[in-house]
Amino acid sequence: MKNEKKDIETAIAHLEELVVKMESGKGSLEENIQWFDDGIKLIEVCRNELNDSEKKIDELIKNAEGSFSVKNIE
């Protein structure tokens, strides 16, 4: 679980860096296009991590009335 948290936190930190670079207006068109592409990939990482977390939470809620278990969803 710590790796997942680190992954999403790292991706968000990189996204924030990309936003700062793009908002500075100092990059070339090609650099901005690359930064945008990198940002899209990082957003996908975040989306996947959040979707996986949601599935785990849903499974925990389903088991709340019965026994408590966590299933590794990969």
Does some domain include residue 67? no
What are the C-alpha distances in Å from 51 to residues 4, 35, 66? 12, 24, 24
Cα–Cα distance, 70 to 58 (Å, whole number)? 10
pLDDT digits (tens, 9 = 90+) for 11-59: 999 999 999 999 999 999 999 999 999 999 999 999 999 999 998 888 8
Does some domain include residue 70? no
Reply yes or no on whether the pLDDT at 69 is more than 80.
no
Q: What is the pLDDT of residue 65?
A: 62
Does some domain include residue 68? no
Q: What is the pLDDT of residue 43?
A: 96
Domain count of the chain? 1
Containing domain of residue 52, as a range? 2-62
Does this model's pTM top 0.85? My answer is no
DSSP single-letter state for residue 28:
-
Q: What is the pLDDT of residue 63?
A: 75
Q: What is the pLDDT of residue 41?
A: 96
Does some domain include residue 6? yes
Reply yes or no on whether the pLDDT at 1 is more than 50.
no
Does some domain include residue 74? no
Any idea what the CATH number is for the domain that residue 29 is in? 1.10.287
